Amino acid sequence: MSELTRIPAPAGVAPAAQYSHVVLGRGRFVAIAGQVPLDEEGKLVGEGDAAVQARQVFENLRRCLTAVGATFDDVVKLTYFVTDMAHMPALRAARAEHIPDDRLPAASAVQVAALVRPEFLTEVEAFAVVGE
């Protein structure tokens, strides 16, 4: 695990409620491609259900992190892509199952017209720093 410093509100920047503005770490940089709500067999999980899809996306992120010897504690940035901002509470709830409030990474949320498949409601990519 890497040593990370989280700065939720740098001087002169309004505090963030659901993310840290800055996360600093030393180690190996890991980029995880956007994860979508597919199971290990490539089948859609939770058609039309943002909460079920969000849980699958975070499970896929967990598996990707595990593959490189990392955990959610090593994540420095999450980017959420959603087809409707109304899906953000479901994503936050899924994130809360893996990341405690005192270890929130930096984050961005972007509403998009569509994802690669029309049944996908969300996609999440991650960046992590793994100890040297």
Q: Cα(25)–Cα(11) distance, rounded to whole angstroms?
A: 20
Angle at 28 between CA 3 and CA 37, to 5 degrees: 95
Which residue has tokens 């992120």? 61
Specify burial of residue 103 (Cβ count, 10 A radius: 0-12, 13-18, 19+). Answer: middle
Please give the pLDDT value at position 120. Answer: 98
Please give the pLDDT value at position 1. Answer: 57
Q: Cα(104)–Cα(33) distance, rounded to whole angstroms?
A: 19
Which residue has tokens 């920047």? 13
Q: Cα(28)–Cα(42) distance, rounded to whole angstroms?
A: 29
What is the model's pTM?
0.92
The low-confidence residues of the chain, meaning pLDDT below 50, are none
Q: Cα(121)–Cα(36) distance, rounded to whole angstroms?
A: 9
